[in-house]
Structure 1
């Protein structure tokens, strides 16, 4: 029996899991391609990895490179060293990478140097900020790729400006939204999630179950500088006097809060800090929230898809469609801008937005169709 052509699919960090899940499912349905799932171990929390894989219906990886944490250079180098033998053994017809993490560029570089066609899902997103490691990863991965799948039409313009051939670019939609729409009916009720962390529901004495905000913070520009992080937390503490803020805290952010002596600020506020949550727990919290405060790119997209107002605590975004068409407002770390935006949401409901084109839950199907047509 003839072996099906093999496609190596790479994941490395938690945001990758939501992007690869619908692609893996779409690859298995026609049965013309044999997907090999490689987890680099860039996010190495075993419990969280297992939770995400189980909730998203992703099988256990065929290979786990177990790289773990390290500086950007160390982590990228270790992924490259451990990924090269994978390509030699598997001899795939292509390598598929998603997003913009170190695993994306590391495996992309190995594929390019081994002359294996590279497929980049979520290509062409640009913040214009080269101080962000993710921006470097995006630009370089796109330059290496044979097929580039975009989530929004503006990404095509970015790629063309950078000299990418037009016939390599395919506007397919957003696989993150495929995952969201596919799992919305499985999302955990907020009361159930909070009960697991010892919190009664509803959080407010007015018994309005949706009267809360969700917060995430993890970007180095926000959490590595004690002055910036302190200013943000002080601002968020003030907002938490108006409504509770649920804060699933990234391990790195938690470490910085403790290092800078800011944990007392949270303890004395209406900010409810929890450990990192699984995908279905977060989805349930976001869907029912009055608003979301975040520096995450993925949450900007998910809130737009759900119609939930989003306040982005960054000076720029690689996802401008969430501002021009969605529910997102960019405010940076300036307290006055944050307060003004939150007040507008609480008083007027915030931006209504609309669902961007092809954010319809079928992006992964389109991706597989193009791969089969172009590479097989």
Structure 2
């Protein structure tokens, strides 16, 4: 059995790594990197440090409008499929790479397996929502991280090929947090940044919906951060840094510490040691939940509705008042931690076993 895995961003490589490990000895797997997201942290060191297999193909698509980017991926992935002739194409999540891979395979009657199937924010204006819905409807294996995801698919008439596996990101966090804690160089990060465990809050801002309002939008968010009792540490994307620096200079903020983007292991350590996370990221809100760190999600909706139980994650409008209210006055309920909505940390093994079983 030959599997071709299509990924386009660093988080997908990290999730795919634990599944690739589980697939060893079961099949021949080749990884295709579309190049959707340029990431300076994805050097050779990234692959060596995390023990992640390097891609067999790097399509170098890069950024662009959704239509141009998806179209170019579609053509280039099709060329790879014609050359490799895999039995199964494996995709993750909800990026343009996910949709392009699934479409290219479907057109060639190659079966598609979708990891993180069934997620819904019910906001069809989000490109991610469009990608995940369309991918689900052309996939033969729908690997769902939660029961909610299974229920979402059932509402859309999708029951064949649906399997609840748990969340591969939980597998990744459990594995790589241990790797980070056993690495003295990584553990020195907090000292380097002059911060102490549970004495700072961690924030990330990267979604277009957050930053499209320009410096005024950033100022509204930073005014809330400025009033928090602990320093707010922000690993800042180059695209957002200029706006952030402008907001700080304009308003004279002192409680905000901008740092360069960090690698995955460093981010796990920053998250696990934070007293609270404030983010517009789908992945980070869930990683915070895994590590029992309260989170304020700077969005009106989340596809990870399970994280909202017991106020471990709360949604906030992008206003100074609402962010401050949620950050200061939300108290998570420890009793809500008893449930295991994201599985037992063995999702990757279940996915590998399902693919092996179905192709024997």
Match of 2:221 among 209, 214, 232: 232
State the alpha-carbon separation in 2 of the partners of residues 122 and 162 from structure 1: 16
| Aligned twin of 1:206 | none
Partner SS, residue 167 of structure 1: coil
Residue segments in structure 1 that go unaligned for 5+ positions in a row: 203-208
The answer on 1:245 being equivalent to 2:238 is: no
Name the SS of the counterpart of 2:341 in structure 1.
Answer: coil
Q: What are the Cα deviations for residues 294-352 of structure 1, in whole angstroms up to 9, with x where unaligned?
A: 1111112111111110111100001101112672111221322221222225xx5x343
Q: What is residue 270 of structure 1 aligned with on the other side? A: 255
Cα distance in 2, alignment partners of residues 78 and 149 from structure 1? 27
TM-score, structure 1 length as denominator?
Answer: 0.89
Shift of 1:14: 1.8
Measure, in 2, the Cα distance between the counterparts of 1:300 and 1:330.
10
The runs of at least 4 aligned residues of structure 1 exceeding 4 Å deviation read 188-191
Q: Do 1:293 and 1:311's aligned partners in 2 also have CA atoms closer than 8 Å?
A: yes
| Structure 2 runs not aligned, ≥5 long | none
| Match among 254, 273, 287 for residue 241 of structure 2 | 254
Are residues 50 and 162 of structure 1, via their aligned partners in 2, closer, same or farther at CA, if it must alter by over 3 Å? Answer: farther
Deviations along 1:70-99, one digit per CA (max 9) or x if unpaired, are: 111111111111111110111100100001
CA distance in 2 between partners of 1:286 and 1:51 (Å): 22
- Are the counterparts in 1 of residues 94 and 129 from structure 2 also a CA contact under 8 Å? yes
Partner of 2:340: 356
Alpha carbons of structure 1 residues 201 and 230: separation in structure 2 relative to 1, 3 Å: closer
Aligned to 2:323: 338
Partner of 2:167: 174
Judged with a 3 Å threshold, the aligned counterparts in structure 2 of structure 1 residues 152 and 326 are, in CA distance, closer, same or farther, namely farther
Q: 1:266 to 1:16 in 2, by over 3 A?
A: farther
The structural deviation recorded for 1:57 is 1.5
Q: CA 1:92–1:160 in 2, change beyond 3 Å: closer, same or farther? A: same
Question: How many residues in Structure 1 have an aligned counterpart in Structure 2?
Answer: 354
Task: Evaluate the alpha carbon distance shift between residue 256 and residue 51 of structure 1 in structure 2; reply closer, same or farther with a 3 A threshold.
Answer: farther
Q: CA RMSD in A?
A: 2.0
Report the Cα distance in structure 1 between the residues aligned to 2:240 and 2:295, rounded to whole angstroms. Answer: 20
Q: Distance in 2 between matches of 1:160 and 1:26?
A: 28
Who is 1:366 aligned against? Answer: 350
Q: Which residue of structure 1 aligns with residue 20 of structure 2?
A: 24
Q: TM-score, normalised by structure 2?
A: 0.92
Give the aligned partner of residue 216 of structure 1: 204
Deviation at 1:37, TM superposition (A): 0.9
Secondary structure of 1:66's aligned partner? coil
Match of residue 11, structure 2, among 2, 8, 15: 15
| Match of residue 184 from structure 1 | 177
Partner of 1:205: none
> In 2 relative to 1, CA 132–51 (structure 1 residues): closer, same or farther, beyond 3 Å?
farther
Please state if 1:102 is matched with 2:107. no
SS at match of 2:352: helix
1:218 partner SS: coil
Give the conservation status (yes or no) of the 8 Å contact 2:306–2:341.
no
* Mean Cα deviation higher: 327-336 or 69-78: 327-336
Contact 1:12–1:43, Cα closer than 8 Å, also in 2: yes
